[in-house]
Amino acid sequence: MNVAAAFEELMGSSPQGVWFAPGRVNLIGEHTDYNDGFVLPFALAQRAVVAASRRDDDLLVMHALDLGEVMELPMAQVRPGTGGWSAYLAGVVWALREAGHDVGAMTLAVTSDVPHGAGLSSSAALECAVMAAACDLFAIDISPLTRAKLCQRAENEYVGAPTGLLDQAASTLCARDHGMFLDCRSFEATMVPLPLTEAGFEILVLDTHTPHSHVDGEYGERRATCEAAAAALGVPALRDVQDLDAALKRLTDERMRKRVRHVVTENERTLATLTAAQQGRLEDIPPLLDASHASMRDDYEITVPTVDLAVETAREAGALGARMTGGGFGGCIIAWCRSGAGEAVGEAVARAFTEAGFDAPTWFIATPSEGAGRLA
Ligand code: GLA
């Protein structure tokens, strides 16, 4: 879609600019961000795009071009409680204002090709694209990390999903052909080369089309259990558990023990992935993906039958490693394949889904892409 042309048709004038922010795949480091741990996502070529202009009245006018819907909100009414898709846009304006930035009236027209509700951060892409637009239009000079944190605040307090920083940091900070290792305590980001094509690999992203939602209880329950476990162990966060065996001995609740084991081992796997990528040993990464999936399935208990079948079938069809990506309870898997082998893996999963009576999946080969920016 030509967003600038669509804007002009709606508004009778061309937009003052066009901005974008991508969806993301989390290569590894799942449910570690809110435990002050480590994540390693990369941004996708799929992105949200927003055409925007300042207005001289007092309205926030938001067009969802893909839905053909419009929502108008007086600036004074931009506060948590307005639901639906517009919350992802208005929430960013609210978070900027809460942080003391002078954001005025705007028209926003958004479109996105990030699959919705698939665990690929379609919501963070919208938030971070609007953030890029608002910062440019109102000359707000804040760092990319601060932008990501304000978008996270929009997601937490305006949309109402208690998520960590992973998605917004990836959408804002990532670089082309790189993964981003993020320490979610120090917020230090390390760009990690991912020369997949040169190394003879490709990453298949397969959407199981099993709907998931973070606003429902499971995500919040996992987060609360982790916080309770950290308190029981007397550490600020599960990131600080040094001796896993000793920690598991101290905890009596079996569910809590499993959650702790996932978080601690997932942090270790994420660090191992970082080291492998930094040393150019990409072939060492796929087994870590397999182990991550097993941990999410058995210890964190956030996978579902479609996702497990997709991962198993991908492995049988030749993927070198595979795991669910994102918050869980559905959404996408990633399968690390040799170059040219991904398509056949997708087809094998589709056949297995037909046999099992599941809805047909869709898939694409991922391209590690750059984070949010200005297009025009
Ligand atoms: C969702 C959240 C992230 C992160 C992942 C799980 O994507 O938005 O903050 O917690 O789940 O790793």
183 annotated active-site: no
119 C-alpha to ligand 1 centroid (Å): 8
Residues 6+ apart with CB under 8 A from 307: 208, 210, 324, 328, 330, 331, 333
Backbone angles phi, psi at 334, to 5 degrees: -115, 145
Q: Which atom of ligand 1 is nearest to the CA of 121?
A: 7
pLDDT at residue number 211: 78
Ligand 1 centre from 101 Cα, in Å?
27
pLDDT (tens digit, 9 = 90+) per residue, 252-289?
999 999 999 999 999 999 999 999 999 999 999 999 99
Total domain count for the chain?
2
Residue 178 and residue 199 in one domain: no
Q: Vertex 199, ends 195 and 203: CA angle to 5°?
A: 70
The whole-model pTM stands at: 0.97
Q: 171: domain CATH number?
A: 3.30.230.10
**Is there a contact between 124 and 168 (Cβ–Cβ < 8 Å)?**
yes
Name 219's Cβ contacts closer than 8 Å, sequence gap at least 6. 161, 162, 163, 327, 328
User: Domain limits at 241?
Assistant: 195-365
Same domain for 158 and 11, yes or no, is: yes
CATH number (domain holding residue 262) = 3.30.70.890
- The DSSP code for 298 is H
Catalytic choice (33, 58, 102, 167): 167
Question: Residues 6 or more apart from 196 whose CB is under 8 A from it?
Answer: 202, 203, 282, 368
Verify that 238 and 342 share a domain, yes or no: yes
- pLDDT single digits (tens) 72-81: 999 999 999 8
Strand (E) or helix (H) holding 258:
helix 254-278
Residues of the chain with pLDDT under 50: 215
Same domain? For 77 and 40 the reply is yes
> Are 341 and 223 found together in one domain?
yes
How is residue 166 written in tokens?
């992973």
Token pair in block for residue 116: 């919705």
Q: Is 163 in the pocket of ligand 1 (CB under 6 A)?
A: yes
